[in-house]
A and B are shown apart, each in its own frame.
Chain A
Amino acid sequence: MTTHHAAQLPYTQAALAAPAAADGIAIRTLDLTTGYKNGRSHHVVNRGLNLTLQCGKLTALLGPNGAGKSTLMRTLCGLQPPLGGSVWIDGEPLHVLSPDRKARKLAVVLTDRVQIGYMTAYRLAALGRYPYTRWDGRLTAEDEAIVQDAMRAARCEALAARMVAQLSDGERQRVMIARALAQQTPIILLDEPTAFLDLPRRIEIMHLLHDLAHQTGRALLLSTHDLELALRFADELWLMGGDGAFVTGAPDEVYRRGDLLNVFADEGAEVRRYLQEMHQRWKTTI
């Protein structure tokens, strides 16, 4: 098993310049309660979350369906308000930031389908400059250089002239990542970026995200179902259980403590047996 060292890449550093958080902490949640408000009734999904997302690291959010991964991601993106507590991004309270300020702190890659009739991949990536362009959206030469660097960093510059509608899922995901890079935010949140991709593409994307976090100093948080890939590529794991349990830690730490087995404790015998076997395998490989 080789370690994935950061390769030297042939792009300049402009796209990679994003204002880093002063204390190395990109997102901090204080006693955060996530959930949905439906009229007057509140449906709480998770309670009392005190999380910190580190700069320069790839963090993976794992957990079974229904545990609240999407709800947490949407809350951290600012797409839905918290039911209690607060989210601080880069030292500022997320849910009172103006859309413009927020867009300079935090970029996202979502699961929403991107269907555009006639737009090149380059134009799509260039939308990441939205918070920085004037009223009519015109890009300066500097903007264009940043977008080009972002596409090189996401290793999709060869796709620049292709129409978005003609890209494969994996190719489109790279362009969306380039767009998030071009937004020059210290934080990028990715909601299941490897869903719909085949295994080689999943490995490539995880590899890319790992490299980007380390090379650019950004804080990258992704939610995923890819347990094994997350264990291999992530620097930090956030594990959510179906019962509201939440544990965090580096992969080997999480593994040593047997947290995986605890988080999936409610699952059936097959699942637990599979995880136990994984646990044994991991012990022997180390």
Chain B
Amino acid sequence: MKVSAPSGVGQAAKPLADPFPPLGIRRSVLVGLAAFALLAFLLSLAIGSVPIPLAEVVHVLLGGQASEATWQTIILLFRLPKAITALLAGAALSVAGLQMQTIFRNPLADPFVLGISSGASLGVALVVLGGTSANVTVFGRTAYLGDFGLVTAASLGAAAVFAVVLAIARRVQSVVTLLVLGLMISYLTSAVVSLLIYFSIPEQISAYINWTFGSFGGVTWQQMRALAPALLLGLTLALLTAKPLNALLLGENYAASMGVNVRAARWLVTASASLLAGAVTAFCGPIGFIGIAVPHLCRALFGTSDHRMLLPAALLLGGGLALIFDLISQMPGARAALPLNVVTSAVGAPVILWIVMRRQSFGQV
């Protein structure tokens, strides 16, 4: 009987407290996350084999000269492109993961798990393999393709896999089937990549292995001109999907009944997630765990599945965390940095386990 309201004539019994919780986005949380990302950004410019005081970092960022010339070089030529890459890549993977978890209604979806990253690497590999030039580097850090070509190939590869996975996901609702599908796509791409390696020289193989470790460090200012616009475009498109993604939480039938153009929404999500995952994979390698863990962290920390809140939160938290992960990977010593995927896995897996143990509703998006 707890649901029935009083229905006496003329009775205007209002409960003492307003039963309706606020619906708006919590700006304070987003401001806090932005501050976290900014702090992580500054720290990653200051900390490294050569420590640089924060004040100097800020001074250089504002266009001034550092008190030591080498600091100037270190910040502008090495640490700044790397930090921007980490910030954008972390944001991109988190946002793509969030979009995919919602559109597949699958808590385990992310670009890495569903093989979208593999699709991106396949796209690059096929184009590189197709090239007849003998001195093409495997996951081309060279400008043979051109950096825009690299992003395009990777995004198209990602989109092709995304389309296949999406088409199959609409027929089978099973979470497990989808994961098996992602696994098989990864095997298929690795078969092609193995073939590529078979015909490669040792230097190329070494370059490929390094690429699979994941790194934010390989991006030059030149390549940033392709990477940054691609990611900013992808993130902008993603922010436009907040409204339809909220409706899609109820499934495609309900979404359609509420006026969502489901086909257009699916297309928009595919385009932005493929662009995001593709561009990051092309330049940083296949990076795991960020895409799956950050959306869950945001849901659990802020207690909402509302994409108007989740999309900006995942963007900021993902960017900040990627910077922290990158810092951790360099902590042990100046000489050898840990592979990035070692850090994201070592930190990401326990975080997911912790959420699973604490929260029962983890199984839902």
Total contacting residues, chain A, CB less than 8 A: 57
Q: Check A33 for interface membership: any CB of B closer than 8 A.
A: no
Query: In chain B, residues 1-45, which have Cβ atoms closer than 8 Å to a Cβ of chain A?
Result: 2-13, 15, 19-21, 23-24
CA distance A111 to B149 in the complex (A): 47
The stretch from B76-84, B284-292, B300-308 touching chain A is: B300-308
* Min CB gap B74→A, angstroms: 41
Query: In chain A, residues 87-137, which have Cβ atoms closer than 8 Å to a Cβ of chain B?
Result: 99-100, 102-104, 106-108, 110, 112-120, 122-124, 126-128, 130-131, 133, 135-137
Q: Check A226 for interface membership: any CB of B closer than 8 A.
A: no
Q: Check A199 for interface membership: any CB of B closer than 8 A.
A: no
Set of chain A residues within 8 Å of B262, measured between Cβ atoms: 99
Given A10-B5, A108-B257, A155-B4: A117 and B361 within 8 A (CB)? yes
Q: Check A220 for interface membership: any CB of B closer than 8 A.
A: no
Query: In chain A, residues 135-180, which have Cβ atoms closer than 8 Å to a Cβ of chain B?
Result: 135-139, 144, 148, 151-152, 155-161, 163, 165, 170-171, 174
Interface string of B247-267 (1 = CB under 8 A from A): 101110110111111100000
Q: Check A77 for interface membership: any CB of B closer than 8 A.
A: yes
Query: Is A161 touching B243 in the complex (CB atoms < 8 A)?
Result: no
Q: Check B330 for interface membership: any CB of A closer than 8 A.
A: no
Q: Check A204 for interface membership: any CB of B closer than 8 A.
A: yes
Interface residues of B (CB under 8 A from A): 2-13, 15, 19-21, 23-24, 105, 107, 240, 242-243, 246-247, 249-251, 253-254, 256-262, 299-300, 303-306, 308, 361-365
CA distance A108 to B303 in the complex (A): 28
Set of chain A residues within 8 Å of B24, measured between Cβ atoms: 138
Tell me the nearest residue of chain A to B306, going by C-beta.
A123
* Min CB gap A221→B, angstroms: 14
Query: Is B253 touching A161 in the complex (CB atoms < 8 A)?
Result: no
Please report whether the interface of chain A is mostly helix, strand, loop or mixed according to DSSP: mixed
CA distance A226 to B299 in the complex (A): 39
Top 10 A-B pairs ranked by shortest CB distance? A103-B259, A137-B243, A117-B364, A130-B258, A131-B259, A7-B7, A108-B257, A160-B19, A117-B361, A118-B305
Set of chain B residues within 8 Å of A144, measured between Cβ atoms: 20, 23
Query: Is B259 touching A110 in the complex (CB atoms < 8 A)?
Result: no
CA distance A139 to B364 in the complex (A): 25
CA distance A153 to B10 in the complex (A): 15
Query: Is A99 touching B3 in the complex (CB atoms < 8 A)?
Result: no
CA distance A118 to B307 in the complex (A): 11
- Residue from A79, A151, A156, A159 in contact with B256 in the complex, judged by beta carbons closer than 8 Å: A79
Query: Is B259 touching A100 in the complex (CB atoms < 8 A)?
Result: yes
Tell me the nearest residue of chain A to B256, going by C-beta.
A99
Query: Is A112 touching B250 in the complex (CB atoms < 8 A)?
Result: yes
Query: Is A133 touching B243 in the complex (CB atoms < 8 A)?
Result: yes
- Residue from A9, A99, A118, A122 in contact with B259 in the complex, judged by beta carbons closer than 8 Å: A99
Set of chain A residues within 8 Å of B250, measured between Cβ atoms: 112, 114, 116, 124, 127
Q: Check A8 for interface membership: any CB of B closer than 8 A.
A: yes
Residue among A116, A165, A183 with most chain B CB within 10 A: A116
Interface string of A73-86 (1 = CB under 8 A from B): 00001110000000
CA distance A37 to B176 in the complex (A): 29
Set of chain B residues within 8 Å of A155, measured between Cβ atoms: 3-5
CA distance A118 to B2 in the complex (A): 22
- Residue from A110, A124, A128, A130 in contact with B253 in the complex, judged by beta carbons closer than 8 Å: A110
Query: Is A10 touching B3 in the complex (CB atoms < 8 A)?
Result: no
Set of chain A residues within 8 Å of B8, measured between Cβ atoms: 8
Tell me the nearest residue of chain A to B2, going by C-beta.
A158
Query: Is A110 touching B254 in the complex (CB atoms < 8 A)?
Result: yes
- Residue from A99, A110, A119 in contact with B260 in the complex, judged by beta carbons closer than 8 Å: A99
